[in-house]
Amino acid sequence: MSEAFLHYIWQFQYFDKHELQTTSGDPIQIFNPGNRNSHAGPDFQNARMKIGGMEWIGSAEIHVQGSGWTEHKHDLDAAYENVILHVVWKNDKAIQRKDGSLLPTLELMNRVSDKFFLHYQRLVNSPETIPCAPFLTQVQDIIKHDMIDKASMIRLESKSSRIIEVLNRNHRDWQETCYQVLARSFGFKVNADPLQQLAQLLPYKVLRKHGDKLLHIEALLFGQAGFLEEENDDEYYSLLKREYNLLRQKYNLSDRRLNKAQWKFLRLRPANFPTIRLAEFASLLHSRPALFSTILEAETYEDLVSIFSTHQSEYWTHHYTFLKNAREPVNFLGGSSISTIIINAVVPLLVAYGKSRDDQRYVDRAVAILQQSPAESNTIISQWKTLGLKSKTAFDSQALIELQNNYCAKKRCLDCTIGISLINPRHQ
């Protein structure tokens, strides 16, 4: 038994109410179980019920065992003084109020159907990565699609909330925030952290002053990233180093550099080396001096693809790292990489901007762009596909990733409409 399951039982009143009474024998009539409280304080607020001969309005608190009341120190918390009913699975301890009177308690252990409980257990105790995998064919398509829509929007909300946090740290500067969010996305999974740190150490306003000179942008990025610390005979490298030494003194950047060792090259394809990603990012900043405004003006997925389809400088079309020639020309930023940046950075940026401005147009546009973007391809998406849930667009694949990571992996079946449909006693 878990409190999450008890919350579900109480919220939807899935228990036998025949001759309902407290452990002291007082009859109970429930008019409203209350509203679920996700913050501090009792679990359900504004509950309304009749206990004995008196009608009450207050809170209901849920525990697996009655002793949970004192274990959680509710007896010392004034926020729990308005609890009118203690709902427990097993009443192992009678609870007294501060005035010495017994807190009315409802025990549910013998009022919940065994079949209902077993359906819940088979999901939360399932060894499958996706707990409902053996039963998914039993679920109606409309229920699956409803959860996909919900999960995709939850994922968008979560990503946009993190961007708002970045925005607040940047004193509500959207251009700086856009630059930092995109920097992280250019690092993809492996080098996301160092590229984000680089963007925090090297302000966008500094780069914008040199937006018309690609060499200066490259010098600032590679220098602050810690790649220009050595001595060698490469003409391009020497030119970058000379420019960086001048610029770092001008902008007092000397003590704010990353270490070259922070960047990861191991087991990456050369085209994904951080040096290549920095060169591509430099090219984007150079070719799109008003980057955030340009993104806001984009109407479709194809518009965004055009914005990010930039070419790195000549040197980086023939090198993977400094001094190391590529065996063949280095490709420009590929379509799948651009799609990943749009999905994980640009779309959440549009949602965050729309919410901060209370302008639903940007949120709607972000969702539309996600629905125009090709679905992602990874092990999670492949696993859902084998179960019959195929991703047609990135809106679908983002939903399935959210389901896997934040519902299935955490056994949150009671928060998932698919899981609920398999547990719900009304459907059994």
pLDDT at 369: 98
pLDDT at 73: 93
CB 101 within 8 A of CB 83: no
> In this structure, what token pair is assigned to residue 173?
């500067």
Reported as a single tens digit per residue, the pLDDT across 69-87 is: 999 999 999 999 999 999 9
d(CA 352, CA 273): 30
Helices of type H across 13-140: 68-71, 114-124
pLDDT at 98: 86
Which parts of the chain register pLDDT below 50? 428
d(CA 396, CA 384): 11
pLDDT at 176: 97
d(CA 420, CA 127): 18
Nearest to 258 by CA among 229, 296, 288, 225: 225
- Rounded to 5°, the CA angle 322-323-329 comes to 80
pLDDT at 328: 86
pLDDT at 19: 93
pLDDT at 326: 86
Which residues fall within 8 angstroms of residue 148, CB to CB, at 6 or more apart?
A: 389, 396, 399, 400, 403
